Amino acid sequence: MVHVLRAGQDAYSSVIGSNFKNDSTLHLTPVTVVISKYGIVVQPLSSISPQNSGLNETHRLYVEGANLRLQGFQNAKTALETNNRELIQKASLTLNMGRMKIEEWGNKIKELGAK
């Protein structure tokens, strides 16, 4: 599942920042690639409930991060369709919060692996 989410993120990264080409490409990528990939994974991911309490807490971080990322991508899509700059800023903040949760998840996984 992680590789599907990573592919979605890579697709988005390929059209933002210094990789930006035009609004049409920026809009098409979230619609066709990112949102569909995240949508496929987030629901089943949410239904996983590890028995180990530490692992369950760590898993919850990943689920929260993935949900925030999906919400951010959906907001970005709507913002581009409506040319809403405030929603673009909200999407960016939400995407960043999701990224931070997933980074926190990665750190916790490393800690659990070291035990």
Q: Please, which pLDDT band fits residue 56 given cuts at 50, 70 and 90?
A: confident
Q: Please, which pLDDT band fits residue 65 given cuts at 50, 70 and 90?
A: very high
Class of domain 2-114: mainly alpha
What is the rounded distance in angstroms from the CA atom of residue 101 to the CA atom of residue 79?
Answer: 23
What is the rounded distance in angstroms from the CA atom of residue 65 to the CA atom of residue 69?
Answer: 6
The whole-chain average pLDDT of the chain stands at 81
Query: Average pLDDT, stretch 14-42?
Result: 69
- The C-alpha R_g of the chain, in whole angstroms, comes to 15
Q: Please, which pLDDT band fits residue 94 given cuts at 50, 70 and 90?
A: very high
